[in-house]
């Protein structure tokens, strides 16, 4: 037996709000011009939202309208100054990523992961936190005692990679501090109901350990696109390539390569019952179509990829196979990009 921890931030945590802003803007650009090249960053805090990065697109987007719509959706005030600092994509990058060349939008390595914990091929503790985050978002919309910001963490007891029990379920949630004895119990019951579906018991809860959490959002903290890449991927159960997803169009292999690596890992487990978990690494060079290397590791050892898989993982093929231009990226930015 061993202890292991993982965490999630709620969709209204400042960093996640910035992720959603970046992807909402990306969706808007791609909706009218699928050839838009985007790398959109958002910074939020203290009555200002700063939008920067690069966009080359035929589409004209109302930046302020979209940002304020996202702020309203997550439960924030819309009384923010929106500063547009977007520029255009470097022509040096465009030389290797235009439609004729079809090369990767950046260097980098991406990881995909799957585990035979449940029907979703995700770690059970990760699924529990994602479900809880979604339930919290529903709760704060109907009960004004619950405010938008927050996060949760599981410290689990494991036998190898299998979650046996939760030692400590930690919740930090922004609230009005009215009837805390009641609101704490409401959250405990939600967690217990979720965990019971997976036959997981909880030894103890730790809720708002400082004793108070009333000031939150951009008043309590700054937010930044891409600062929650571990939450966005596998909550520490697998390596992270290092590149964020939000605000990046499908030519960016940070995003497309990571999505593809996850699909490869799931496929391997579905096709071969002898593996309990699978980890896939893809690596790319900017302007090159196919990956430099594919590494596949399982609990039974390594798998040597064939040349067909290299061709399958070219940027053009990944975009087509994953239908990357018909994904609503803002939705993916809410609770993590790999969900059930």
- H helix intervals, the chain: 14-32, 63-73, 91-97, 124-142, 180-197, 217-220, 229-232, 253-271, 307-312, 315-321, 329-335
- Name the β-bridge partners of 282: 110, 294
Q: Show Cβ contacts of residue 20 under 8 Å, excluding neighbours closer than 6 positions.
A: 11, 70, 73, 74, 246, 330, 333, 334
> Which one from 33, 54, 184, 263 is the annotated catalytic residue?
54
> Which one from 227, 332, 334, 337 is the annotated catalytic residue?
227
254 is catalytic: yes
> Which one from 149, 254, 279, 290 is the annotated catalytic residue?
254
> Which one from 132, 169, 213, 338 is the annotated catalytic residue?
213
Give, as one character, the DSSP assignment of residue 89: P
248 is catalytic: yes
61, 53 Cβ separation under 8 angstroms: no
> Which one from 27, 41, 149, 290 is the annotated catalytic residue?
41
> Which one from 11, 37, 248, 332 is the annotated catalytic residue?
248
> Which one from 228, 255, 262, 266 is the annotated catalytic residue?
228
222 is catalytic: yes
167 is catalytic: no
> Which one from 151, 255, 262, 337 is the annotated catalytic residue?
151
221 is catalytic: yes
15 is catalytic: yes
User: How many whole angstroms separate alpha carbon 137 and alpha carbon 174?
Assistant: 12
320 is catalytic: no
User: How many whole angstroms separate alpha carbon 299 and alpha carbon 275?
Assistant: 6
219 is catalytic: no
User: How many whole angstroms separate alpha carbon 23 and alpha carbon 38?
Assistant: 10
* Six token digits for residue 128: 């529990």
Q: What is the C-alpha end-to-end distance of the chain, expressed in Å?
A: 27
185 is catalytic: no
> Which one from 7, 10, 11, 16 is the annotated catalytic residue?
16
56, 89 Cβ separation under 8 angstroms: yes
Alpha carbon of residue 160 to chain centroid: 26
16 is catalytic: yes
> Which one from 10, 11, 13, 23 is the annotated catalytic residue?
13
> Which one from 164, 167, 222, 267 is the annotated catalytic residue?
222
228 is catalytic: yes
117 is catalytic: no
Largest CA distance in the chain: 62
| Residues recognised as catalytic | 13, 15-16, 41, 54, 151, 213, 221-222, 227-228, 248, 252, 254
């Amino acid at each position: 037996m061993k202890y292991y921890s993982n965490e999630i931030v709620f969709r209204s945590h400042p960093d996640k709000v910035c992720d959603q802003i970046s992807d909402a803007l990306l969706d808007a650009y791609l909706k009218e011009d699928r050839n838009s090249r985007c790398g959109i960053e958002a910074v939020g805090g203290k009555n200002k939202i700063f939008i920067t990065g690069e966009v080359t697109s035929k589409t004209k987007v109302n930046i302020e309208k979209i940002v304020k719509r996202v702020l309203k959706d997550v439960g924030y005030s819309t009384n923010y100054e929106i500063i547009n600092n977007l520029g255009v994509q470097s022509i040096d990058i465009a030389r290797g990523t235009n439609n004729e060349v079809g090369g990767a939008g950046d260097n980098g390595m991406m990881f995909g992961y799957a585990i035979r914990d449940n029907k979703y091929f995700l770690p059970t503790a990760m699924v529990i936190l994602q479900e809880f985050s979604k339930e919290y978002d529903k709760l704060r919309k109907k009960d004004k005692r619950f405010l938008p910001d927050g996060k949760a963490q599981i410290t689990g007891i494991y036998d190898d990679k299998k979650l046996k029990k939760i030692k400590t379920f930690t919740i930090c949630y922004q609230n009005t501090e009215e009837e805390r004895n009641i609101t704490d119990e409401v959250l405990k019951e939600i967690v217990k109901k979720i965990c019971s579906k997976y036959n997981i018991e909880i030894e103890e809860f730790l809720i708002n350990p400082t004793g108070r959490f009333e000031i939150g959002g951009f008043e309590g903290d700054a937010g930044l696109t891409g600062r929650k890449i571990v939450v966005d991927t596998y909550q520490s159960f697998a390596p992270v390539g290092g590149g964020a997803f939000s605000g990046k169009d499908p030519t960016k292999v940070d995003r497309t390569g990571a999505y593809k690596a996850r699909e490869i890992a799931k496929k391997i487990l579905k096709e071969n019952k002898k593996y309990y978990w699978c980890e896939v690494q893809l690596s790319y060079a900017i302007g090159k179509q196919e990956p430099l290397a594919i590494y596949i590791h399982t609990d039974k050892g390594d798998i040597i990829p064939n040349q067909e898989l290299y061709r399958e993982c070219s940027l053009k093929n990944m975009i087509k196979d994953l239908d990357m231009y018909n994904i609503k990226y803002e939705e993916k930015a809410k609770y993590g990009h790999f969900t059930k």
